[in-house]
Amino acid sequence: MTPARTEPDLSFLLDRTSHVLRSKMSAALAEIGLTARMHCVLVHALEEERTQIQLAEIGDMDKTTMVVTVDALEKAGLAERRPSSTDRRARVIAVTEEGARVAGQSQEIVDRVHRDALAPLPEGDREVLLRALNRLVDDGLATPAETPRAARRARQSR
């Protein structure tokens, strides 16, 4: 009675690979005391002066998660909230010298995890996969559908 599948289960394939990649990334970054969110904030705050709201948008974090993340970075001495140099009403996240050092270390970890994830594929297949995923992100799967009930993301295990 099960309906015949006529297409590959793209949802399963993307969900499964994403979950495993996140778990590997989480374990690797935990070795230096960071989370993926902390890494994201450090790296993007180093690029240019950005507010907490801007960094939350880049990292796809809600306000509460962002506050908790920046609080943890401040407690670890890796970042601090400072007044903006261009808008005295705004506060930006500034990365400390130690935070910049840790961001460099965490970027090496992230790059290694990504490289290891793609390692089972022949070089040509890696390029094709990345090009195809980028195309989906930029085009076919760029915008979530408007629905009366929002799709939930997979819960992150701690």
Q: Model confidence over 89-117: pLDDT tens digits? A: 889 999 999 999 999 999 999 999 999 99
For the chain, percent of residues with pLDDT exceeding 90: 78
Rounded Cα distance between 19 and 25, Å, is: 10
pLDDT, tens digit, 9 for 90 and up, residues 136-148: 999 988 888 888 8
Rounded Cα distance between 28 and 89, Å, is: 37
Mean of per-residue pLDDT scores for the chain: 92
- Higher-scoring residue by pLDDT: 86, 72: 72
| Residue 1: band (very low, low, confident or very high) from pLDDT cuts 50, 70, 90 | confident
| Residue 158: band (very low, low, confident or very high) from pLDDT cuts 50, 70, 90 | very low
Q: Enter the pTM of the model.
A: 0.85
Q: What is the separation of C-alpha 47 from the centre of its chain, rounded to a whole number of angstroms?
A: 15
Name which CATH class applies to 21-140: mainly alpha
pLDDT at 152: 62
